[in-house]
Amino acid sequence: MARTGIPRSDAGDIVEVCCKSTWRAAVVECEYERDIRVRLLFTDIELEVAGVEVYGTFCYSGRNQLEKGMLVDAMNHHPTRMCYVKCVVLRLEGEVIVVKQLEDDLSSSDDDPLVFRTHECMLKPFGQHTFGRNHQDNKLREQFLQDQGYDLTSGSNNSISGSSSTSGRNRSILGRGDSRFTRYSEGLVLMGYSLVEMQGDGNCLFRAVSHQMYGSEQYHRLIRLACMDYMESEFEYFEPFVVGDFRAYLNDKRKDGVWGDDIEIQALCEIYDRPARVMAYDRNEGAKMLRTFHEVDGERFRPAMILSFYGGGHYDSIVSEAFKRSVVSSEPGYLEDSRVSLSRSRRSGGLNEMSNDQTLLDDAIGLSRHQYLTSFRRDLESAFEASMESAQEEEAKLLEGALLESHVKGKVDSDLEKALLLSRQEYGAPNDFDDELAKAMMISSQEAKNDRETEWELSLNLSHAFDCSEGKESAIISSHDDETELQHAIEASLSTL
SS3 call for 472: coil
Judged against a pLDDT cut of 80, whether residue 487 lies above it is answered with: no
pLDDT of residue 269: 94
Judged against a pLDDT cut of 50, whether residue 466 lies above it is answered with: no
Exposure b/e, 289-326, CB count within 10 A at least 16 = b: ebbebbebeeeeebbbbbbbbbbebbbbbbbbeebeeb
What is the rounded average pLDDT of the residues 35-45? 92
DSSP letters for 238-297: HGGGBSS-HHHHHHHHTSTTPPP-HHHHHHHHHHHT--EEEEEEETTTEEEEEEEES---
Q: Where exactly are the structural domains of the chain?
A: 71-147, 179-378, 397-495
pLDDT digits (tens, 9 = 90+) for 280-302: 998 888 999 988 898 876 666 78
12-21, 278-287, 358-367, 448-457 — which is least confidently predicted? Answer: 448-457
pLDDT digits (tens, 9 = 90+) for 376-415: 555 555 555 555 555 556 555 655 665 566 555 555 566 6
* Confidence bin at 346 (pLDDT 50/70/90): confident
Crossing angle of helices 220-233 and 334-348, rounded to 10°: 10
Q: What are phi and psi of 54, to 5 degrees?
A: -65, 135
From 266, 262, 279, 283, select the one nearest 316 (Cα to Cα): 279
The pTM for the full model equals: 0.66
Contact 293, 275 (CB under 8 A): yes
Crossing angle of helices 262-272 and 220-233, rounded to 10°: 90
Q: For the domain covering 179-378, report its CATH number.
A: 3.90.70.80
* Confidence bin at 180 (pLDDT 50/70/90): confident
Same fold, 71-147 and 179-378: no
pLDDT of residue 271: 95
What is the rounded average pLDDT of the residues 349-357? 68
Exposure b/e, 339-351, CB count within 10 A at least 16 = b: bbebbbebbeeee
pLDDT of residue 478: 43
Q: Topology of 71-147 in CATH? A: SH3 type barrels. (2.30.30)
* Confidence bin at 140 (pLDDT 50/70/90): very high
What is the rounded average pLDDT of the residues 239-244? 86
From 118, 106, 112, select the one nearest 75 (Cα to Cα): 118
Contact 117, 107 (CB under 8 A): no
Judged against a pLDDT cut of 50, whether residue 471 lies above it is answered with: no
The DSSP code for 109 is T
The DSSP code for 304 is P
Contact 314, 202 (CB under 8 A): no
